[in-house]
Amino acid sequence: MTAEMKVSAAVAPRRRFGGMSAGNSRAVIERGLRATMSNNYLIILSGFFEPVFYLLSMGVGLGGIIGDIELNREMIAYGAYIAPALLAVSAMNGAIYDSTWNVFF
C-alpha cells in the first residue's frame, strides 16, 4: 500500500452502513412518496372495495352453498362467520402491498 493510499483511506469518512448503502436512500424514499401521492386514490379505493368484494363472493356466493353454521348452539350466517377473517386478510394484504409495492413499480 502506498503512502498516498494510506492517507486517502485515513481521511475518507466512514459510512455507517458501508457497502450496504449506495447513499441514495433519500432518493428512493422521495420517489416512493411521489408515486404514492400520484396513485393515492387507487390505494384508498382498492383498500375499501377488496374486502367488500371478498365478502360478497365468499359470504353470499359460497354462503349460499354452505348455509348457516352452528356456533355455540346458535345458527350464524356464513357471511357473518367469515367476515372477521376477511377483514384480517384485507388488512394483511394492505400492509404487504404498502411495504412491497415499490419493488413492483
Does residue 99 lie in a domain region? yes
pLDDT tens column, 61-84: 888 888 898 988 999 988 888 888
Determine, yes or no, domain membership for 17. no
- Single-letter amino acid code for the residue at 54: Y
For the entire predicted model, the pTM comes to 0.52
Burial class (CB in 10 A: 0-12, 13-18, 19+), 29: exposed
Q: What is the pLDDT of residue 45?
A: 80
Residue 70, domain member (yes or no): yes
Query: What single-letter amino acid sits at 46?
Result: S
Write out pLDDT tens, residues 21-75: 566 778 878 887 787 777 677 777 877 888 888 888 888 888 888 889 898 899 9
Say if 14 falls within a structural domain. Answer: no
48, part of any domain: yes
Residue 4 falls within a domain, yes or no?
Answer: no
Task: Give the residue numbers spanning the domain of 86.
Answer: 22-104
Domain annotation covers residue 1: no
Domain count of the chain? 1
